[in-house]
Amino acid sequence: MINESVSSKFVNFKKGLLICLSGPSGVGKGTIIEALKLAGTPLTHSISITTRQPRPGEIDNVSYYFRSREHFHELLETGEILEHDEYCGNLYGTPRAPIEALLAEGTDVIMDVTVPGSLETIVNFPDAISIFLLPPSFSELRRRLTNRGTESADVIEQRMKKAIYEVRQAAKFKYIIVNEDVNQTAKVIHHILDAERHRSERCIGIEDYILGR
């Protein structure tokens, strides 16, 4: 927010920010998002759209937007999907309209997507604040993946290979943070959001507003 008393009367400052957080598997995206929420940064997750069948307990428009393949393709063709992927024969994606609605009402939205999905988002939504998390080192990334205890040695090797490609995409993001300490990284993201709210392209019209007061 530029300043409470001015921003409360100036609509452009109140628009939310779309944050696209990415990085290799094991870098700690989930932990960072939890830390941001605990620190009081109000962030809403984007809801994905999928062509797969709902599982028991999943609610349409809450867990996912469950839609037909035809509908998904229509949205893709009209530019209504920011990023998408196919997994086990089902399409998954992030729809634009619900995000635009949240941003318009001043809500910040965070997308936690794959690296290719982030690159697609950067092209389709240039205003997104893309942040790439790097591990402090490759040996530390391996240690974190191993410590999870959920993946086999084979899967870990595959992840490490994929991570080489992923890390090489870092320069295509707006910001890069080496995630050494969760709280430090969360603080930097908080600072990035504050700085971004003050970028002049987000303050269009403020001069006339001030001149008229």
The torsion angles phi and psi of 109, rounded to 5 degrees, stand at -120, 135
The CB density around residue 161, as the number of other CB atoms within 10 Å, is 10
* Closest approach of its own copies to the CB of residue 138, in Å: 6
Cβ nearer to its own copies, comparing 147 with 152: 147
DSSP 113: -
Q: Which of 174, 182, 183, 186 binds its own copies (CB under 8 A)?
A: 174
Give the separation between CA 131 and CA 113, rounded to whole angstroms. Answer: 11
Judging by beta carbons within 10 Å of its beta carbon (0-12, 13-18, 19+), is residue 16 exposed, middle or buried? Answer: buried
Q: Which of 61, 69, 181, 183 binds its own copies (CB under 8 A)?
A: 181
CA angle 38, 39, 42 (to 5 degrees): 85
Cβ nearer to its own copies, comparing 39 with 97: 39
Q: Which of 139, 147, 150, 152 binds its own copies (CB under 8 A)?
A: 139
* Closest approach of its own copies to the CB of residue 7, in Å: 8
Distance from CA of residue 132 to its chain's centroid?
A: 10
- 102 touches its own copies (CB under 8 A): no
The answer to whether residues 93 and 82 touch, using CB atoms and an 8 Å cutoff, is: yes
Sign of CA dihedral 101, 103, 109, 111: positive
* Closest approach of its own copies to the CB of residue 17, in Å: 12
Q: Which of residues 152-171 bind its own copies (CB under 8 A)?
A: 164, 167-168, 170-171
- 43 touches its own copies (CB under 8 A): no
- 147 touches its own copies (CB under 8 A): no
- 172 touches its own copies (CB under 8 A): yes
The kind and range of the H/E element at 92 are: strand 90-95
Going from the C-alpha of 7 to that of each of 2, 15, 82, 148, the distances in angstroms are: 6, 10, 29, 44
Q: Which of 39, 45, 105, 138 binds its own copies (CB under 8 A)?
A: 138
- 194 touches its own copies (CB under 8 A): yes
Stretch near its own copies under the rule CB under 8 A, chosen from 28-36, 67-75, 98-106, 189-197: 189-197
Which residues of the chain form contacts with its own copies (CB under 8 A)? 2-3, 5-6, 132, 134-140, 164, 167-168, 170-178, 180-181, 184, 188, 190-192, 194-196, 198-201, 203-204, 206-207, 210-213
